[in-house]
């Protein structure tokens, strides 16, 4: 057993890095928060203790660190990837491990980073691990990551209906995914435990779509009526107006031509509130 101290500044730096990397991709707004929430719900359903749940939450937040090494042209490609492009994408868990390995909290997140694209039948990447050689963190993060990818818009397709996404998970039982964990995830869906996460970037923080080009815009949790938001894709500037439980975006007519990804402070604060002082693994 190993005890790891979780320092606030170290935790902030890791989550900030993950949120900045996510912010450069206009189609994945809120992805890391949603994957983390789905993962924790599934971990609770499975019976993980609080130490393991915190490790799961943190690992799911940073599992895609390595996508910083994938070009925008590949990440945002409208059509199917070529075999060469897919080989580049397949390297992002390895790149994520290389980026994260010098961070003091890396032992907590390494399995989610390295294993979230492994498959229980041994045909996944990057290590072609199978069955019990994949950790519980890798297995759970894989299901959560896939479900969110399926139910979120992508450059090459709209978001799939939840029922279709759940069917795809079910079809992957014993092949891509651990069968028991998929059954537990399906139970969560039947109990309507996932709806409040779909289409959100944080608690009560609905995603917005750019009225000009379509990709996602993530509002800050403290956004106020009349403030300006910018689209990460077209760099258009929009004035925000309250509309019930969400917002409407009014195009100002201007585009800056520059988008600066920034850490998601709302996400960072929510993680800090739930953090543990030490984690024993």
Active site residues: 67
**Could you please report the per-residue DSSP string of 20-88?**
HHHHT-TT-TTHHHHHHHHHHHHHHHHT--HHHHHHHHHHHHHTTGGGGGS-HHHHT-SSPPPHHHHHH
- Report whether 17 contacts 242 (CB < 8 A): no
| CB 239, CB 246: distance < 8 Å | no
Give the whole-angstrom CA distance, residue 214 versus residue 231: 9
236-243 and 216-217: which strand pairing? unpaired
Tokens of 225: 């009526």
Dihedral Cα 159, 161, 166, 168, nearest 10 deg: -60
Residue 229: φ, ψ to 5°: -115, 155
> In a 3-state reduction of DSSP, which class is residue 63?
coil
Task: Give start and end residues of each alpha helix (H) in 47-191.
Answer: 50-62, 72-75, 83-89, 92-100, 106-115, 136-150, 162-171, 179-190
Among candidate residues 140, 60, 65, 145, the one with its CA nearest the CA of residue 101: 65
The Cα–Cα gap between 14 and 66 comes to 13
């Amino acid at each position: 057993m190993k005890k790891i101290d979780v320092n606030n500044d170290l935790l902030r730096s890791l989550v900030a890095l993950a949120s900045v990397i996510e912010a450069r991709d206009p189609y994945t707004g809120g992805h890391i928060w949603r994957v983390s929430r789905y993962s924790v719900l599934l971990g609770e359903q499975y019976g993980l203790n609080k130490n393991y749940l915190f490790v799961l939450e943190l690992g799911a937040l940073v599992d895609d660190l390595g996508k910083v090494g994938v070009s925008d042209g590949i990440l945002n490609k409208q059509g199917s990837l070529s075999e060469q492009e897919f080989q580049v994408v397949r390297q992002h868990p390895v790149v994520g491990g290389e980026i994260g390995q010098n961070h003091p909290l890396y032992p907590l997140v390494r399995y989610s980073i390295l294993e979230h694209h492994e498959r229980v039948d041994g045909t996944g990447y990057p290590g072609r691990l199978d069955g019990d050689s994949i950790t519980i963190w890798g297995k759970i993060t894989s299901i959560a990551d896939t479900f969110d990818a399926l139910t979120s818009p992508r450059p090459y397709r709209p978001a799939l209906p939840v029922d279709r996404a759940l069917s795809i998970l079910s079809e992957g039982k014993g092949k891509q995914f651990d069968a028991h964990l998929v059954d537990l995830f399906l139970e969560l869906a039947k109990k309507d435990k996932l709806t409040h996460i779909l289409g959100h970037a944080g608690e009560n923080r609905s995603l917005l779509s750019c009225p000009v080009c379509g990709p996602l815009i993530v509002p800050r949790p403290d956004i106020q009526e009349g403030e300006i938001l910018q689209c990460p894709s077209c760099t258009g500037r929009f004035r925000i107006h309250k509309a019930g439980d969400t917002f409407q975006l009014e195009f100002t007519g201007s585009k800056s031509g520059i988008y600066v990804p920034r850490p998601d402070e709302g996400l960072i604060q929510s993680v800090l509130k739930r953090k543990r002082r030490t984690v024993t693994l």
